[in-house]
Amino acid sequence: MTTKSSKVSLSIFNQHSILNLPKRFTVLEAAIFQKMVEELLQQAQPPQTIVLNFSQTKMIDSTGLGALVMIYKAAIKQETKLILESVQPSVMALFSMTGLIDILNINSATVCS
Protein backbone atom coordinates (compact mmCIF):
# COMPACT_ATOMS: atom_id res chain seq x y z
CA MET A 1 0.00 0.00 0.00
CA THR A 2 1.24 3.49 -0.88
CA THR A 3 -0.24 6.83 0.16
CA LYS A 4 0.88 10.34 -0.85
CA SER A 5 -0.10 13.55 0.85
CA SER A 6 1.52 16.96 0.41
CA LYS A 7 4.95 15.59 -0.48
CA VAL A 8 4.99 13.02 2.35
CA SER A 9 4.55 9.52 0.95
CA LEU A 10 3.88 6.33 2.85
CA SER A 11 4.57 2.75 1.80
CA ILE A 12 3.61 -0.26 3.91
CA PHE A 13 5.23 -3.68 3.58
CA ASN A 14 3.95 -6.28 6.05
CA GLN A 15 4.74 -4.84 9.50
CA HIS A 16 7.13 -2.19 8.19
CA SER A 17 6.23 1.32 7.06
CA ILE A 18 8.41 3.72 5.09
CA LEU A 19 7.74 7.43 5.01
CA ASN A 20 9.54 9.49 2.39
CA LEU A 21 9.91 13.02 3.67
CA PRO A 22 9.89 16.09 1.39
CA LYS A 23 12.72 18.46 0.54
CA ARG A 24 11.45 20.97 3.12
CA PHE A 25 9.98 19.52 6.32
CA THR A 26 8.15 22.54 7.68
CA VAL A 27 4.90 23.33 9.49
CA LEU A 28 2.63 22.15 6.65
CA GLU A 29 4.41 18.87 6.03
CA ALA A 30 4.96 18.23 9.74
CA ALA A 31 1.24 18.31 10.50
CA ILE A 32 0.48 15.81 7.74
CA PHE A 33 3.44 13.64 8.72
CA GLN A 34 2.40 13.58 12.38
CA LYS A 35 -1.19 12.65 11.50
CA MET A 36 -0.04 9.84 9.16
CA VAL A 37 2.26 8.32 11.79
CA GLU A 38 -0.28 8.68 14.59
CA GLU A 39 -2.84 6.80 12.44
CA LEU A 40 -0.28 4.05 11.82
CA LEU A 41 0.47 3.73 15.53
CA GLN A 42 -3.23 3.64 16.48
CA GLN A 43 -3.94 0.60 14.31
CA ALA A 44 -4.92 -2.64 16.02
CA GLN A 45 -1.52 -3.97 14.92
CA PRO A 46 0.88 -1.03 14.65
CA PRO A 47 3.95 -1.54 12.46
CA GLN A 48 7.03 -3.12 14.03
CA THR A 49 9.23 -0.58 12.27
CA ILE A 50 8.74 2.88 10.82
CA VAL A 51 11.53 4.08 8.56
CA LEU A 52 11.79 7.79 7.87
CA ASN A 53 13.61 8.35 4.58
CA PHE A 54 15.38 11.72 4.71
CA SER A 55 17.16 11.35 1.34
CA GLN A 56 15.35 14.36 -0.16
CA THR A 57 15.12 16.47 3.01
CA LYS A 58 17.46 19.45 3.09
CA MET A 59 15.68 21.62 5.68
CA ILE A 60 13.63 21.11 8.85
CA ASP A 61 12.04 23.89 10.88
CA SER A 62 11.15 23.83 14.58
CA THR A 63 7.70 22.39 13.85
CA GLY A 64 9.29 19.50 11.95
CA LEU A 65 11.65 18.84 14.86
CA GLY A 66 8.73 18.93 17.29
CA ALA A 67 6.77 16.46 15.15
CA LEU A 68 9.77 14.09 15.12
CA VAL A 69 10.02 14.20 18.91
CA MET A 70 6.27 13.60 19.32
CA ILE A 71 6.37 10.65 16.93
CA TYR A 72 9.47 9.26 18.63
CA LYS A 73 7.66 9.26 21.99
CA ALA A 74 4.50 7.74 20.48
CA ALA A 75 6.53 4.99 18.77
CA ILE A 76 8.21 4.07 22.07
CA LYS A 77 4.79 3.68 23.73
CA GLN A 78 3.67 1.33 20.94
CA GLU A 79 6.97 -0.57 20.96
CA THR A 80 7.54 0.43 17.34
CA LYS A 81 11.11 0.97 16.18
CA LEU A 82 11.64 4.37 14.53
CA ILE A 83 14.61 4.54 12.15
CA LEU A 84 15.90 7.58 10.27
CA GLU A 85 17.70 6.82 7.00
CA SER A 86 19.66 8.77 4.40
CA VAL A 87 19.95 11.85 6.61
CA GLN A 88 21.46 14.77 4.69
CA PRO A 89 24.39 16.75 6.20
CA SER A 90 22.32 19.91 6.82
CA VAL A 91 19.69 17.91 8.71
CA MET A 92 22.34 15.92 10.59
CA ALA A 93 23.93 19.20 11.71
CA LEU A 94 20.57 20.32 13.10
CA PHE A 95 20.12 17.00 14.92
CA SER A 96 23.60 17.43 16.37
CA MET A 97 22.97 21.02 17.53
CA THR A 98 19.68 20.05 19.20
CA GLY A 99 21.01 16.87 20.82
CA LEU A 100 18.56 14.70 18.85
CA ILE A 101 21.48 12.87 17.28
CA ASP A 102 21.95 11.10 20.64
CA ILE A 103 18.25 10.21 21.02
CA LEU A 104 16.97 9.27 17.56
CA ASN A 105 17.87 5.97 15.89
CA ILE A 106 19.80 7.15 12.85
CA ASN A 107 20.97 4.37 10.57
CA SER A 108 24.63 5.28 10.18
CA ALA A 109 25.02 3.03 7.14
CA THR A 110 22.73 5.34 5.19
CA VAL A 111 23.76 8.74 6.54
CA CYS A 112 24.72 10.92 3.60
CA SER A 113 28.03 12.74 3.74
Q: Where in the chain are the domains? A: 2-110
Rounded Cα–Cα distance for residues 108 and 24 (Å): 22
Q: How much is the pLDDT for 106?
A: 95
Beta strands in 44-107, from DSSP E residues, in sequence order: 49-53, 59-60, 81-85
Q: What is the pTM of this model?
A: 0.86
Query: Are 31 and 17 spatial neighbours (Cβ–Cβ below 8 Å)?
Result: no
Pick the CATH number of 2-110 from 3.40.50.280, 3.40.50.150, 3.40.1360.10, 3.30.750.24: 3.30.750.24
User: Which stretches in the chain have pLDDT values below 50?
Assistant: 1-5, 110-113
Contacts of 6 (CB under 8 A, 6+ apart): 22, 28, 29, 32
Q: How much is the pLDDT for 108?
A: 63
Distance from the Cα of residue 69 to its chain's centroid = 10
